[in-house]
Amino acid sequence: MANLEAHLRVPGPTPLPDPVREAGAWQMVNHRGPEFAALMGRVVPALQRGFRTTGDVVLVGTSGTGGLEAAVVNHLSPGDPVLAVTVGAFGDRFARIASQYGADVTLLEVTWGRAAEPDAVRDAVAAMQAAGRSPRAVFLTHNETSTGITNPIGPLAAAVRSTAPEALLLVDAISGLGALPFDTDGWGLDVVITGSQKSWMVPPGLAMLSVSQRAWEASERATMPRFYFDLKAHRDAAQKGSTPWTPPVSVCFQLDVALGLIEREGYPAVFARHAACGAATRAGLRSLGFELFADPAHASNTVTAARVPADLDWKRFSADLRGRGLTLAGGQGALTGQVFRVGHLGYVTVNQILAALEILEEALAAAGRPVDRGAALAAAARAADRASAQIADPPMDASMSAAARADGTEVQA
Amino acid sequence: MANLEAHLRVPGPTPLPDPVREAGAWQMVNHRGPEFAALMGRVVPALQRGFRTTGDVVLVGTSGTGGLEAAVVNHLSPGDPVLAVTVGAFGDRFARIASQYGADVTLLEVTWGRAAEPDAVRDAVAAMQAAGRSPRAVFLTHNETSTGITNPIGPLAAAVRSTAPEALLLVDAISGLGALPFDTDGWGLDVVITGSQKSWMVPPGLAMLSVSQRAWEASERATMPRFYFDLKAHRDAAQKGSTPWTPPVSVCFQLDVALGLIEREGYPAVFARHAACGAATRAGLRSLGFELFADPAHASNTVTAARVPADLDWKRFSADLRGRGLTLAGGQGALTGQVFRVGHLGYVTVNQILAALEILEEALAAAGRPVDRGAALAAAARAADRASAQIADPPMDASMSAAARADGTEVQA
C-alpha cells in the first residue's frame, strides 16, 4: 500500500498505541523470575479493577475462543443442561464449544441484530426447569461482534438469578469489557471472559478470565477434561507470580503498559470515548446512505455492522478501501456478504473515525455513487458531541478513576 | 539490576535477536487480510523446511504444552492404549495430558539423566501387544528440557515402526527442533510439536505442529473432545492464509523474521553453532567443578543440567548471579533443588556462553570457592573448537542451505 497512514478499523485486533507497540520489542525475561512476578503483581489487580471484581482474574495464553473453552471445560460436566442465549455468530460458537464437550445445550436464539430480552431468558430458564433440566449454567454474550449488538447483561443476569439462582453465569465479554460499562461483581457474574486484542489495545495472544468463588467450587465437581485450560493451575501459579505454562511474555509486557494507559485515562473517559466513537460511526454511515444492521436501542459502541447495498460489489469496494489505507471487516457466519463491519474499540478516537469516514466518502464518490462531500463528517462530529454530553454522569465509581489519575497524566482521548 | 548487560540463559524463552525484537513492535494488521495471508505463505513453507516434512504444518496460538495437548486430542480416543516413553518432567507431562483425556497410558520410565533405548521401547511395545493392548500411539521426547538429554529419535522411531507399524508416533520436539538435526519425514514421524520461544528465537505464544497424512486419517476417527485445538480447523484456515481463531499476530511477525535469519544462516551452521555452545557449556561447567547430570553420550546441545553441590545454597547463589546479570534456571519436578540448568538454544553464540561462564566464575570466587581464574573460559573455548571441527559433514541436505544462502547474507554465528 502506498498510503502514508493505515487505518485498521476491524473489531479486533485493534491498532496499538505507540507505548504498547514498543513494549512488544522488549527483550525476553524469565517467566519464572522476579521481573515477571512483578508484572503479574501489577496486571492482575489492574484487571480486577477493569472487571470490577474482587475475585480471581487469570491470564491464559490463547485467543478469546480459547477463553470461552476454558470457561466451559472448567465448570461443567458432560450431560449438564446449559442455556445458551445467542444473538449472533459468537453466541453460537460459545454454545458449540459446550456441545463439543458433551453438555446438553438448549439454545435461545435471538434474531440477529437484536438484543436478548430478560423476559425471554426468564421464560427459557423456567421452561428448562419445568422439563426437569434446570440449567447448570447460562451463557450470555455481552457484545456480539458479528451483529454489533450490546446485550443488557445486568438485567439478563438478574432474570437468571431470580429464576435459577443456582445456575452459573458465564459471560463472553471479549469485545466489550474495558470499553463499555461493566460490573462483574455487581451483576453477580461467575465467569467473565475478555481478550487482549479488543478494548485493551494489546496484540492478540491472551484471554483474561474472572472466576467467582462459586465457580471455583463448581470446578471441583466439573468433569470435562482439561489440561492447558485448567484454570485452577493458572490460579495456583498466579499466586506465585507466574503461569502454569510458558505465557506469551511480550503480550504480557504490552498488557502491562496498556493497562497503565487505560487507568491514566480513567474508565469513565474510556467509556465516553467509545460512546462518542460509536455515535460518530453510526451517524456517519447513515449519512453516507448505509442502513445499519443492529437495533438502535442496543447498538454497540465497539463495533457497527451496516448492510452492503444490493448494488455495491463489496469485494471490489473493500479492496479499493484497502488501497486507500482503510481496512474494514466483512460479515461473519450467516451475514457473510450481507453486512460489513467497522471496528471502533481499543485504540480509537473520534478523529480516527472521521478519517475512516472520509476515506469511505472518497471511495463512494470514486465508485460513482452520490456523495454530499463532507456531510458524513459533519454528522459524525455532531453525533460525537451529543454522545459525549450524555455521559455527564458516568456509571463507574468516580473515585477509582480519580485514584488512577493521581499522577495528573492524561492520555489523548 | 545495575548491569549493563542481561544474560538470559534459561532453556526458553531464549533471548531475541534485534530484528526479531523489533518486529514485535510492528503495528497490527487484519489477521483475515492479505498481509497476514502473505506471512502465512512464507512461514508455513519455511517451517516445512525446518521440520523436513512435505506434510502440513499448522500454527496454534498456545505454548508447547498446548501443542502437546493438540497432538493428543486430535489423534486419540478415550480408552486408546498409548505407550509414553518418558525420560523426564516433560515426558511425564505428555503422558499426563493423555491420561487426563482418558487414554489408557502405559509409561516406559527411563532413569532421569539417561536417554531412551530402542530395545527397551521395542520390548515395551511388544509387551503391550502380547497383552492385547497394541499401542494406538507412542509418545517420544526429542530433547528433554528437565534433564538435558537428547533422545535418538530416528532409532527409537524405527524400533516402534518395526514392532507396531500401525502405531502413531507423536514427538515432543519443543526444545530441540530447529537447533538439532531432525528429520520428520525421514524418520516417519506422525505429529511433531515445537514452540516459538525455543530454537526459533521468538517470544512464546505459538506452537507449531507437523501432521502426517495418516495422522489426519486418525483424526477423523479420534473422539477426544476438542475445539480450540482442533487441528483440522487450523489446516482448513491455513489453506485460506489464516487461522481459525485470532492468532498472536505480533508473535507471527516475529516468527517470520526469525525464520528468515535462520535460513540465511543455514541449518547446518545453526546445528554447528548449537553443538559448539553445548560443548563449551559442558566443558566450562566441568572446569568450574560442577558435576553434569546427563549421560554424556546423549547430552543435549540446547540445555545442560548440572548438580547443585551439596555445600552450595542455590537460592542465594542464583540470586547473586542475577545481580551480576546472569539468569539460569533451577531444577524441575523431582529435580527441584537438585540441579540447575543452563539454556543454550536459539539466539546463542559461543561468546555468550563464555560471558555466562565468566559471571559464574566471578560469583563462585565471590562465594569463597576455589576458582582457577580463566580456566573454565579456556576449556570452553577449546571444546567449542573441537565440536565445530567435528561437524565437518553436516547431517542436513546441503542444497537446502545453499538455496537459503543465495543472497549471500550471513548472520553472526
Bridge partners of B86, per DSSP, are B109
A38: which 3 cell numbers?
A: 512483578
Q: Which long-range contacts (CB under 8 A, 24 or more apart) does B396-403 make?
A: B396/B181, B396/B267, B396/B268, B396/B271, B398/B268, B400/B49, B400/B267, B401/B266, B401/B267, B401/B268, B401/B269, B402/B266
Residue in chain A nearest B60 by alpha carbon: A62
pTM assigned to the model: 0.94
What DSSP state is assigned to residue B340?
E
B227 vs A contacts (CB less than 8 Å)? 65, 69, 96-97, 100-101
* Local structure of A8: helix, strand or coil: strand
For the stretch A156-186, pLDDT in tens is: 999 999 999 999 999 999 999 999 999 999 9
Question: Is residue A179 within 8 Å of A276, Cβ to Cβ?
Answer: no
Bridge partners of A143, per DSSP, are A150
pLDDT given for residue B405 in this prediction? 34
Phi, psi at B114, each rounded to 5°: -115, 160
Domain ranges of chain B: 7-14+266-390, 19-262
A330 vs B contacts (CB less than 8 Å)? 32
Question: Is residue B75 within 8 Å of B215, Cβ to Cβ?
Answer: yes
Write out the DSSP string of B111-175: PTTS---HHHHHHHHHHHHHTT---SEEEEESEETTTTEE--HHHHHHHHHHH-TTSEEEEE-TT
Question: Is residue B82 within 8 Å of B106, Cβ to Cβ?
Answer: yes
Residue A334: other Cβ atoms inside 10 A: 14
Of A224, A245, A250, the CB nearest to B65: A245
pLDDT given for residue B334 in this prediction? 87
Q: How far apart are CA B360 and CA B283, in angstroms?
A: 13
CB B195 to CB A246 under 8 A? yes
To the nearest whole Å, the CA of B366 is away from the closest chain A CA by 23
Q: Identify residue A115 by its one-letter amino acid code.
A: A
The CATH class for the domain spanning B19-262 reads: alpha beta
What DSSP state is assigned to residue A335?
G
Question: Is residue A238 within 8 Å of A368, Cβ to Cβ?
Answer: no
B218: which 3 cell numbers?
A: 486418525
pLDDT given for residue A391 in this prediction? 64
Cα dihedral across residues B187, B193, B195, B196: positive or negative = positive
Q: How far apart are CA A15 and CA A7, in angstroms?
A: 8
Q: Which CATH superfamily is domain B7-14+266-390 in?
A: Aspartate Aminotransferase, domain 1 (3.90.1150.10)
Q: Identify residue B26 by its one-letter amino acid code.
A: W
CB A28 to CB B197 under 8 A? yes
Residue in chain A nearest B16 by alpha carbon: A27
Of B22, B227, B248, the CB nearest to A251: B248
Kind and range of the H or E run holding A186? none
Q: How far apart are CA B135 and CA B81, in angstroms?
A: 5
Question: Which among A211, A214, A223, A228 is positioned nearest to A101, based on CA atoms?
Answer: A223
For the stretch A263-322, pLDDT in tens is: 999 999 999 999 999 999 999 999 999 999 999 999 999 999 999 999 999 999 999 999
What DSSP state is assigned to residue B91?
H
Of A13, A27, A96, the CB nearest to B6: A27
First to last CA, chain B: 28
Of B14, B226, B246, the CB nearest to A12: B246
pLDDT given for residue B396 in this prediction? 44
3.40.190.10, 3.40.640.10, 2.30.30.140, 3.50.30.60: CATH of A18-262: 3.40.640.10
Which residues, given as ranges, of chain B have pLDDT below 70? 1-2, 391-413
Q: How far apart are CA A404 and CA A249, in angstroms?
A: 25
Give the torsion through C-alpha atoms of A284, A286, A287, A289, to 10 deg: 130
CB A13 to CB B249 under 8 A? yes
Domains B7-14+266-390 and B19-262 share a fold: no
Phi, psi at B384, each rounded to 5°: -60, -45
- Residue A365 predicted with pLDDT over 80: yes
What ipTM goes with this model?
0.94
B64: which 3 cell numbers?
A: 508447547
CB B203 to CB A63 under 8 A? no
CB A246 to CB B61 under 8 A? no
CB B21 to CB A25 under 8 A? yes
Q: Identify residue B23 by its one-letter amino acid code.
A: A
pLDDT given for residue B412 in this prediction? 34
Beta strands B81-86 and B56-60 are unpaired
* Local structure of B55: helix, strand or coil: coil
Phi, psi at A93, each rounded to 5°: -65, -45
Question: Is residue B175 within 8 Å of B302, Cβ to Cβ?
Answer: yes
pLDDT given for residue B407 in this prediction? 37
To the nearest whole Å, the CA of B389 is away from the closest chain A CA by 32
Cα A87 to Cα A275, B93, B262, B377, distances in angstroms: 21, 39, 47, 66
Q: How far apart are CA A391 and CA A401, in angstroms?
A: 15
pLDDT given for residue B155 in this prediction? 98
HEC string of B351-364 equals: HHHHHHHHHHHHHH
CB A69 to CB B204 under 8 A? no
Question: Is residue B349 within 8 Å of B314, Cβ to Cβ?
Answer: no
Of A31, A62, A322, the CB nearest to B61: A62
Identify each DSSP E strand in A263-408 by its residue range. 303-307, 326-327, 329-330, 339-343
For the stretch A368-412, pLDDT in tens is: 999 999 999 999 999 999 998 776 444 444 333 333 333 333 333
For the stretch A401-411, pLDDT in tens is: 333 333 333 33
B69 vs A contacts (CB less than 8 Å)? 227-228
